[in-house]
Structure formats: C-alpha cells, structure tokens
C-alpha cells in the first residue's frame, strides 16, 4: 500500500533543526508507519544559510519568512525549532492555518503564552507535540514501565539535576544568534525554562503532578554586553536554580540546575526512590538504567546496571542486535516514530501542548517562588 506523504516545514536550522532533520531522515528506515515523511521546506531568515542547510539535509525548498511557509498548502506539519520567544506566535498562526505542530520546548516563553497555544490547537483541532525528547530514551521508558507496573511501591523521593558550565566567563555576551539563551527577552528565563523544564517534564511523566514548590535562583554575572546593542545590559535570566517540591502522591522532589558547575557539560541525572525499588538514570550513560531492588536475595542485593539494548526493552527491537547501544539522537527518531504512530492510530503521542503547559506552570511557580521567597501552589492544567 502506498504510504501517505507527511510534508514537513521546519523553522530554524540550528541545534534542534539538525536533530529533528536527522530524525526525519532516519525514522522510515527503522520504524514502520503508514506515513512517508517528506522534507518539504526549511525556513530561516538568512537565505544563504537556509539554502545550504536545505541542500545538506535534502529539503525540497526554502523560505525566509515563516508566515509564507504557513500559507503554503503543500506543508502538513510545522516544526518549530526557533528561540523560545517565537514559539507562541508561530504556533498560534500555524494552528489557524490548520497545520499539525511539533514545537520545541519550553512550550511558551511563560505559562500565559502557553495557555494561548493550548487554546489555539484545541480550537483548530490540529495534532500537536512538544519535543521533550528525554521521554524517548529507552532507559527512561524502561523506568516509566517499572513505575507504572507498581514495582517501586510507594514513591518517597524524586531528585534531578541538570548541570552545565558554559556561561562562567563574564566576558561572554548575551543575546543574538547562539547566545539568545542569555537574553531574558528571547529565552523567558535561564536554566529554569531551559534545563529544568526537561527535568520537570520527565518528573511529571515518571512520577505525578507537582502540588507546590519553593525555590531559589541566582544570577552570578549581573551585566553582559548585548550582541545586538553592543552595550552592557542587565542580565535578566537565572544562571542557577534549585527547588523543592511536593508531588501529588506525597513524594518529595529536589531539583537543581546551573550553568556554573565547572566540569559538567550536560549532566542530566534523575533518581526515584520507592519503598521496594530505586531507579537512577544519567544522560552521560543514557543507555543504562541503575536499578536497586530490595526484594532481591540479601546476599546478592545491590545496584544493578541494566544495559538497555535488548529486543524486549523499549524501542530496541527496531535497532541493532542485543548488546549494541544507541544514543542521544535516537530519542528524536523515537519521538517522530511515536508521532506518526499517534496519527495512524488516532491516539495522539505525548507530550502534547497540554503537557507542555503543565511544565510551564511549574516553571512559572518556581520563578515566582524564587522572587518572593514563598511556597507557591502550582496551577494545574484543566
Ligand atoms: N529538546 C531539546 O533537548 C532541546 C535542545 C536544545 C534546544 N531546544 C529548544 O529548541 C529551540 C531552538 O534551540 P536551538 O538550540 O536549536 O537554537 P539555535 O540557536 O541553534 O537555532 C535557532 C534557529 O532559529 C532560527 N531563527 C531564530 N529566529 C527566527 C525567526 N524569527 N524566523 C525563522 N528562524 C529563526 C535561527 O536562525 C536558528 O536557525 C529552543 O526553543 C530551545 O529551547 C531543545
């Protein structure tokens, strides 16, 4: 049977533009689907750069204005891989144009923006998904399966870190290409919306919703030259954030993120402690899940390092042979595969925009608490 073409229009050719394009290129080779992904158009403002990106990745055409891309009737899916301050405007317009939308995280610059995005896709009834790709690492999915099967018993603790060290230099400017993450107007926040958003999404998925939070943030470098004005300007983002929270199931959460942990480049770790079992995962060893099962015979009880590469482990039967691991980029391939499967089955893949909003509510509560020094209740998605 001929496959249905699904024509992608991608906006942004940076880090995520490449990660997503790689996923589109690979998905059909490894996962069955009724759909054939077609790289229809790449869009970014710099014509030469977007042409060269399109040529390298095999996109059939280019646009330099995303509004033009949305007007085209040969685009089925709009993939938003641009800085955070552009997500809402593009996604709301894409929904109005009747396009399916794959949006990078965090969903909005803040929760009020994300609420409008959720309303727009609900009104237009268009498929939507947010790229919280760590949900698609096989070892993290294995953790999810063990938790859902009740193997851990009652959950007591959830803790996560996301540590980097790339902004310690005070001479690093803020704003503009490559450094938009340091400009609060483009990013919305610092590590909270950038890195902790990932940790929060995984926690909401693996554990349960968060009731309330108390947080502290710090901006270590108070002023940086802005690349667009050439002037020293106040830094509005949080360089570091730590927060405590209570989950709805009574468990306690502890989260930390910084770009000032010298020696750490992208150390995302999570641990969940239940009455019977604890699980631990580390992005630097992403194909392994550490498992401690208290029900093991005492003489041999200890932490097991499970190499997640066997055919009965999540996603792995689609790849190589048992014992051969996969990596970071595969999480994006899995996300596209699940999106296609969702379209085919009518049971939409998640995280969708509502899930993205749930994370944005936590991010906003964390930032509010850091500002006013009070515990904050987290708004819940209706
Ligand atoms: N899921 C993840 O793990 C992950 C990782 C990194 C980034 N992200 C998210 O992806 C998004 C993009 O981040 P990145 O690291 O790829 O950034 P990047 O700076 O590498 O690339 C951004 C791209 O957007 C383009 N762009 C900016 N404004 C535009 C506009 N108005 N119209 C068209 N193109 C425009 C730039 O030219 C560039 O191609 C952000 O929202 C970020 O938070 C997610």
CB 119 within 8 A of CB 107: no
To the nearest 10°, report the CA torsion of 367, 368, 372, 373: -60
Atom of ligand 1 nearest to the CA of 19: 16
Q: Which of 44, 136, 199 to mutate to test the pocket of ligand 1 (most atoms within 8 A of CB)?
A: 44
pLDDT digits (tens, 9 = 90+) for 59-76: 999 999 999 999 999 999
Taking only the tens place, the pLDDT of each residue in 150-171 is 999 999 999 999 999 999 999 9
Residue 83 Cα, ligand 1 centroid: separation in angstroms?
4
Measured from the CA of 134, which atom of ligand 1 is nearest?
3
Mutate to test the pocket of ligand 1, among 41, 42, 83 (most ligand atoms within 8 A of CB): 83
Query: Within 10 A of 220 (CB to CB), how many other CB atoms are there?
Result: 14
Longest alpha-carbon distance in the chain: 66
What does each of the 382 residues of the chain score in pLDDT, given as a tens digit? 799 999 999 999 999 999 999 999 999 999 999 999 999 999 999 999 999 999 999 999 999 999 999 999 999 999 999 999 999 999 999 999 999 999 999 999 999 999 999 999 999 999 999 999 999 999 999 999 999 999 999 999 999 999 999 999 999 999 999 999 999 999 999 999 999 999 999 999 999 999 999 999 999 999 999 999 999 999 999 999 999 999 999 999 999 999 999 999 999 999 999 999 999 999 999 999 999 999 999 999 999 999 999 999 999 999 999 999 999 999 999 999 999 999 999 999 999 999 999 999 999 999 999 999 999 999 999 9
Which pLDDT tens digit goes with each residue over 240-252?
999 999 999 999 9
Alpha carbon 266 to its chain centroid, in Å, reads 14
CA 147/CA 36 separation, integer angstroms: 34
Å from CA of 175 to ligand 1 middle: 13
């Amino acid at each position: 049977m001929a496959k249905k073409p699904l024509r992608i229009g991608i906006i942004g050719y940076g880090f995520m533009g490449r990660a997503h394009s790689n996923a589109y290129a690979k998905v059909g080779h490894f996962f069955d689907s009724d759909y054939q992904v077609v790289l229809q158009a790449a869009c970014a403002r710099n014509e030469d750069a977007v042409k060269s990106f399109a040529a390298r990745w095999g996109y059939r055409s280019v646009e330099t204005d995303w509004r033009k891309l949305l007007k085209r009737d040969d685009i089925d899916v709009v993939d938003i891989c641009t800085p955070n301050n552009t997500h809402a405007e593009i996604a709301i317009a894409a929904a109005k144009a009747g396009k399916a939308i794959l949006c990078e995280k965090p969903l909005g610059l803040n929760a009020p923006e994300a609420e409008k995005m959720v309303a727009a896709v609900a009104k237009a009834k268009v498929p939507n998904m947010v790229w919280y790709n760590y949900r698609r690492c096989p070892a993290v999915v294995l953790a999810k399966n063990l938790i859902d099967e009740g193997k851990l018993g009652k959950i007591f603790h959830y803790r996560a870190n996301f540590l980097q060290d790339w902004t310690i230099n005070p001479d690093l400017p803020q704003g503009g290409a490559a450094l938009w993450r340091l400009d609060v107007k483009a990013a919305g926040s610092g590590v909270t919306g950038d890195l902790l958003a990932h940790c929060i999404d995984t926690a909401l998925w693996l554990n349960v919703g968060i009731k309330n939070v108390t947080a502290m943030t710090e901006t270590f470098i108070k002023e940086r030259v802005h690349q667009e004005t050439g002037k020293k300007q106040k830094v509005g983002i949080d360089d570091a954030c730590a927060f405590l929270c209570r989950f709805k199931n009574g468990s306690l959460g502890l989260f930390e993120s910084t770009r000032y942990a010298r020696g750490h480049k992208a150390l995302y770790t999570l641990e969940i402690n239940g009455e019977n079992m604890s699980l631990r995962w580390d992005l630097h060893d992403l194909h392994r899940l550490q498992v401690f099962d208290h029900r093991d015979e005492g003489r041999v009880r200890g932490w097991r390092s499970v190499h997640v590469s066997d055919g009965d482990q999540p996603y792995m039967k689609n790849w190589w042979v048992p014992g051969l691991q996969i990596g970071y980029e595969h999480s994006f391939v899995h996300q596209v595969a699940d999106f296609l499967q969702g379209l085919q089955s009518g049971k939409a893949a998640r995280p969708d925009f509502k899930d993205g909003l749930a994370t944005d509510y936590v991010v906003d509560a964390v930032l509010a608490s850091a500002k006013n020094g009070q515990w904050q209740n987290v708004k819940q998605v209706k």
